[in-house]
Copies of this chain bind each other. A is one copy, B any other.
Amino acid sequence: MKAAIIGASGYSGEELVRLLSRHPDVELAAVTSRSLVGKKVADIMPALRHLVGELAFTVSDPAELAQRADLDVFFLALPHGVATEFANPLFTAGKIVIDLSADFRLNSASVYESYYGHPHPAPQLLKAAPYVIPELAGDKWKEANLIACPGCYPTSIQIPLVPLLRAGLVKPSGIVINSYSGVSGAGRKVAEDFIYCERNESIQGYGMPKHRHLSEIEEQLEKAAFADCLVQFNPHLAPMSRGIATTIVAKSNGASLQSVYDCWSQCYQTSPFVSVLPAGTYPDTKHVTGTNRADISAVYDTRTDNFVITSAIDNLLKGASGQAVQILNIKFGFQETAGLS
Contact yes or no, B238 A203, CB < 8 A:
yes
Interface presence of A61 (CB below 8 A)? no
Interface presence of A232 (CB below 8 A)? yes
Within 8 A of B (CB), among A205-253: 205-206, 208-210, 230-232, 234, 236, 238-243, 245, 247, 249
Interface presence of A341 (CB below 8 A)? yes
Complex: chain B residue closest to A180, CB-CB = B203
Contact yes or no, A188 B195, CB < 8 A:
yes
Complex: chain B residue closest to A190, CB-CB = B192
Residues of B within 8 A of A273 (CB): 50
Residues of B within 8 A of A200 (CB): 183, 196, 200, 240-241, 286
Stretch at the interface among A93-101, A132-140, A258-266, A296-304: A296-304
Interface presence of A176 (CB below 8 A)? yes
Interface presence of A47 (CB below 8 A)? yes
Complex: chain B residue closest to A280, CB-CB = B208
Interface presence of A310 (CB below 8 A)? yes
Contact yes or no, B289 A201, CB < 8 A:
yes
Partner pick for A188 among B51, B192, B236, CB 8 A cutoff: B192
13 A–B contacts from the bound complex (CB under 8 Å)? A47-B289, A50-B293, A176-B232, A183-B195, A190-B192, A196-B198, A196-B239, A201-B242, A204-B283, A206-B282, A209-B304, A232-B249, A239-B239
Knowing that A46-B295, A176-B232, A203-B245 touch, tell me 19 more A-B residue pairs with CB under 8 angstroms. A46-B284, A47-B288, A49-B275, A49-B287, A178-B178, A183-B195, A183-B197, A188-B192, A190-B190, A196-B241, A204-B245, A204-B312, A205-B310, A208-B282, A231-B304, A232-B308, A234-B247, A236-B245, A239-B239
